[in-house]
């Protein structure tokens, strides 16, 4: 990775931006203070809400951090399909004594207004999800001294990121919790996700951009393996979800290691876009029928999810989690960064020792011949 980016954070650990109130300033500050790169999630916030969180974070740390933006979504949804899904969810609304949300509450997530704030009040790093910004946007941020990263879930998307002029690509494997950052929501690709190690290899051959790996990473040994595979840093979300500073609901944190939740699935049930979460009642009952309609379904189910959280009902919440969720550790975020860094160092030392041993064995073998 270009020294401009790696100089920002000494450890190859990036805290994933998790929208919905998880990536609060306290979490990002703790990660950055410990030597990683903390992130705020601007998704589902107003431009002013994002700005207030940036101010709060700057009051907690002078270390570099990042802000993540959702790209505006094109018109894909069929209103009739959303109406049918709303009818199916009527029973949920009755159960939780909540009204369904308005599916037409906006598609752009305040993108332009948030960009304006970030150009007027530059931050060290900005990343993008659900698509690739234009070269003009990347250049405008670069002129302010902001480094940019864009999520890609395929080699083709990584090539689009490279053409945009972004400084690095976030390579997101199918193991990742939460929403897949596909540039286009194509239902024919719902079962075509690529595992992280395979994707890293493909992207490494397709582009010259530095890579940040994301997807199911929970231990320092995994980070060390990915560094050996050619990435410059690893982005962890679920690992930080369970930390003390995380803004995740207590029920969500507990569910990560609760034996009732044994696996994850990609589902459209909660938002209309593929996202990985713990399999619960809501996902099982509604996932097969959810339309390709983001963010309409997200707006539609938002009151239901909030009501379930208020009731402490894990069976009705969107329990986003990566495939490594059972390995979650309830630690302060700074301590987790410290533990991960120690695990990386130990794994790298073991790799180096094994390499030396292998070279020595080869020399002995040649002398024996």
- DSSP assignment of 110-130 equals THHHHHHHHHHS--SEEEEES
Q: Is residue 369 pLDDT above 50, yes or no?
A: no
Residue 189: predicted pLDDT: 86
Q: Is residue 308 pLDDT above 50, yes or no?
A: yes
Question: Could you tell me which residue, 107 or 127, shows the higher pLDDT?
Answer: 127
- Are 80 and 103 within 8 A, CB to CB? no
Question: Considering only 73-82, 148-157, 226-235, 285-294, which range has the smallest mean pLDDT?
Answer: 73-82
CA distances, 268 to each of 131, 236, 277 (Å): 18, 22, 10
Q: Is residue 361 pLDDT above 70, yes or no?
A: no
Residue 365: predicted pLDDT: 44
Identify the DSSP state of 325. Answer: G
The number of beta carbons lying within 10 Å of the beta carbon of residue 233 is 26
Q: Is residue 241 pLDDT above 90, yes or no?
A: yes
Task: Report the predicted TM-score, pTM, of the whole model to 2 decimal places.
Answer: 0.95
pLDDT band at 188 (very low <50, low <70, confident <90, very high): confident
pLDDT tens-digit series, residues 310-340: 999 999 999 999 999 999 999 999 999 999 9
> What is the rounded average pLDDT of the residues 127-150?
98
pLDDT band at 368 (very low <50, low <70, confident <90, very high): very low
pLDDT tens-digit series, residues 65-101: 999 999 999 887 789 999 999 999 999 999 999 999 9
Identify the DSSP state of 326. Answer: G
pLDDT tens-digit series, residues 249-296: 999 999 999 999 999 999 999 999 999 999 999 999 999 999 999 999
The sign of the CA dihedral 191, 255, 181, 324 is negative
The number of beta carbons lying within 10 Å of the beta carbon of residue 204 is 17
Which phi and psi (to 5°) does residue 193 adopt? -65, 150
The fraction of the chain above a pLDDT of 90, given in percent, is: 90
Residue 199 is inside which H or E element, if any? helix 196-206
> What is the rounded average pLDDT of the residues 8-35?
97
> What is the rounded average pLDDT of the residues 2-7?
74
C-beta pairs of 302-307 under 8 Å, 24+ apart in sequence: 302/101, 303/93, 303/96, 303/98, 303/99, 303/100, 303/101, 304/89, 304/92, 304/93, 304/96, 304/98, 304/100, 305/270, 306/98, 307/96, 307/97, 307/98
- Are 279 and 263 within 8 A, CB to CB? yes
């Amino acid at each position: 990775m270009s020294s401009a980016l790696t100089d920002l954070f000494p450890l190859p650990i990036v805290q994933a931006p998790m929208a919905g109130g998880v990536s609060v300033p306290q979490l990002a500050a703790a990660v950055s203070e410990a030597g990683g790169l903390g992130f705020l999630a601007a998704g589902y916030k107003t431009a002013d809400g994002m700005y207030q969180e940036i101010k709060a974070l700057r009051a907690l740390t002078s270390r570099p951090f990042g802000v993540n933006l959702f790209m505006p979504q094109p018109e894909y949804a069929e209103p009739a399909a959303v109406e049918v899904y709303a009818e199916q969810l009527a029973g949920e609304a009755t159960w939780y004594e909540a009204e369904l949300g308005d599916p037409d509450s906006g598609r752009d997530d305040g993108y332009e207004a948030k960009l304006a704030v970030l150009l007027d009040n530059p931050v060290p790093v900005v990343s993008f999800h659900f698509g690739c910004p234009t070269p003009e946007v990347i250049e405008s941020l670069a002129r302010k001294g902001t480094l940019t990263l864009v999520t890609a879930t395929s080699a083709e998307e990584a090539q689009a990121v490279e053409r945009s002029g972004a400084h690095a690509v976030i390579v997101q494997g199918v193991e990742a919790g939460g929403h897949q950052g596909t540039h286009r929501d194509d239902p024919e690709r719902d079962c075509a996700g690529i595992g992280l190690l395979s994707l890293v290899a493909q992207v490494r051959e397709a582009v010259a951009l530095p890579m940040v790996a994301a997807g199911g990473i929970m231990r320092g040994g995994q980070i060390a393996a990915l560094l050996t595979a050619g990435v410059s840093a690893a982005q962890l979300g679920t690992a930080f979800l369970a930390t003390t500073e995380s803004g995740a609901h207590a029920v969500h944190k507990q569910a990560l290691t609760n034996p009732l939740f044994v696996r994850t699935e990609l589902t459209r049930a909660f938002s209309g876009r593929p996202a990985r979460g713990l399999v619960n009642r809501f996902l099982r009952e509604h996932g097969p029928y959810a339309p390709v309609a983001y963010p309409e379904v997200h707006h539609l189910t938002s009151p239901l999810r909030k009501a379930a959280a208020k009731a402490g009902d894990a069976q009705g919440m969107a329990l986003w989690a990566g495939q490594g969720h059972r390995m979650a550790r309830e630690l302060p975020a700074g301590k987790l960064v410290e533990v991960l860094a120690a695990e990386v160092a130990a794994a790298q030392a073991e790799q180096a020792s094994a390499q030396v041993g292998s070279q020595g064995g080869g020399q002995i073998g040649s002398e024996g011949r």
